[in-house]
Structure 1
Amino acid sequence: MQRMIGVIGGSGVYDMEGLEQAEWQAVETPWGAPSDEILTGRLGGRGRLGGRPIAFLPRHGRGHVHSPTDVPYRANIDALKRLGCTDILSVSACGSFRQELAPGDFVIVSDFIDRTVAREKSFFGAGCVAHVSVAHPICGRLGDMAEAAARTAGVTCHRGGTYLAMEGPQFSSMAESKMYREAWGADVIGMTNMPEAKLAREAELCYASVAMITDYDSWHPEHGSVQITEIIATLQANADNARSLVRALADQEAEASPCPHGCDRALEHAILTAPDRRDPALVAKLDAVAGRVL
């Protein structure tokens, strides 16, 4: 049995040649509808089972209908786990705070600063309280695989970097950009990886993030303010590299086994509410996410 990859990204990622048994599936979740139907199939040919099971979820929906704030993050993670995903690869456009992280480069993220303020950030709450650790929000095993896939695909790739997650939908002011870069030490900035990474940890899924650099945000003295036309042009140029990375990732062997970093056991000691005090309605909603421990 193989591990199943769930890829969350845009149209440039899920438009894959060679995807076998391709099917768009509508998935119902207790947290509402996910961003869109999910494209499932098998990709790659090196595995013993004739290709790796994979699922593509357009984060903003086909046609880009969800703003970063309005993305149904809980439904997205729940839906991917319901389909059998064990690993989540996030692919997203980001701005860069570092000269050496140039537009067109990819960064394998290693940490996050969460500045989002208007999103539901947990599956748990009143009636079933849980606290998971996100000290190391990226799965090292999956991060290694993403880096190796990027190298195989010939993509200029940097390993490690802190992702500043802002609320949006506006881009940063120059003062904010300089603060994030100089005082806070962030390396890239985006609007979508939080609370996605936290929810993946609550769902006991391995998670890795690939930041596709599109611009230098607004701190860079020679690049001025962020222009959406420039971002779109770089996004289109990155599309082939993103597909190549995902294809190379699918070609890697990954038999089902416990995560060496414990991502798949994140809830082992996290739920604090006594069994006789748990809200049955909330427990029912947690069937896919936390059914292993509930």
Structure 2
Amino acid sequence: MTERMIAIIGGSGLYEIDGLEQVEWVEVKTPWGKPSDAILTGTLQGLKLAFLPRHGRGHVLDPSSVPYRANIDALKRLGATDVISMSACGSFREEMAPGDFVIVDQFIDRTFARDKSFFGPGCVAHVSLAHPTCAALADSVAEAADKSGATVHRGGTYLAMEGPQFSTLAESNMYRDHWGADVIGMTNMPEAKLAREAELCYASVAMVTDYDCWHPDHDAVEVSDIVRTLTGNADKARRTITHLPALLGSGRAPCPHGCDRALDTAMITAPEKRDPAVLARLDAVAGRVL
């Protein structure tokens, strides 16, 4: 058993968690630049917790400029073992209504302007992403979300688009009718890929704010409706977090799905050919195998 630390990556307001003790904002330096913001650390019912505002406090970063590599590296350096993403999304399914939570288990990555790997020339690695989220962590998060009062959908495919613009109607219909996506957002990729490379368990809570433009009533939705849904989602997200310590515990056994051992068979560059400068940047995310 090792000590567990859960890291929450989410939006403004989620870090105002009742019962969080020993609260401190920590600046973390990484070889990949600055993270989105300082990281809030504390203890919740005996469980170590870190919170990183994905877009920075005040929402100053758009989805394409979020420093995903620095964020994951910083959380790993702090000792995070499990990462839970909480993000707003649009829905492609009538039954996944505004206000509902979808526990994502698959992704379609349509982003193109982001650095997607810690590895590259000088040290090449290929991790498996057949199952890009941790089923064990997702089960606990789903139970916590259910206890928070949210309507929870266990399993769903998240279409990650580049943004910052929303979809055209043609794209929305294609993603929904032909690609089988359930929700759409702009931030879970390459976040999930990098978490796997860093050997962190990763779960994603997609919080539905609206139906994407495929829906015939989309044009009738007003900004005030979306803001009201966002506020309600944030309340349920905070309550979800407060239920996690009892479900997860402060001790952590090896991941039953091998997330914490993802690099065991991923390294392909011969040891004598690995670039020392590249290895130095990988000290946190891949130190266990390097």
TM-score by length of 2: 0.97
Q: Which moved more, 1:8-17 or 1:186-195?
A: 8-17
- Distance in 2, matches of 1:94 and 1:249, equals 22
- Distance in 2, matches of 1:145 and 1:235, equals 23
Q: Is the 8 A contact 2:132 2:193 kept in 1?
A: yes
Partner of 1:36: 37
1:215 to 210, 219, 232: 210
* Residue ranges of structure 2 left out of the alignment (5+ in a row): none
Q: Is the 8 A contact 2:18 2:242 kept in 1?
A: no
Secondary structure of residue in 2 paired with 1:290: coil
Partner of 2:122: 127
Secondary structure of residue in 1 paired with 2:268: coil
- Distance in 1, matches of 2:235 and 2:93, equals 24
- Distance in 2, matches of 1:28 and 1:227, equals 41
Partner of 1:76: 71
Partner of 1:260: 256
1:104 to 99, 103, 106: 99
1:92-130 deviation line (CA, Å, top 9, x unaligned): 000000000000000000100000000000000000000
1:269 to 241, 265, 269: 265
Q: Is the 8 A contact 1:166 1:189 kept in 2?
A: yes
Matched, 1:192 2:187: yes
Partner of 1:48: none
CA RMSD of aligned residues (A): 1.2
Alignment of 1:1-294 (within 5 A): 1-44=2-45, 51-224=46-219, 228-254=223-249, 255-294=251-290
Q: Deviation at 1:216?
A: 0.3
* Residue ranges of structure 1 left out of the alignment (5+ in a row): 45-50
Secondary structure of residue in 2 paired with 1:6: strand
Percent of counterpart pairs with the same letter? 69
Q: Is the 8 A contact 2:12 2:59 kept in 1?
A: no
| Alignment: residue pair count | 288
Runs of 4+ in 1 over 3 A off after TM superposition: 225-230
TM-score by length of 1: 0.96
- Distance in 1, matches of 2:273 and 2:181, equals 41
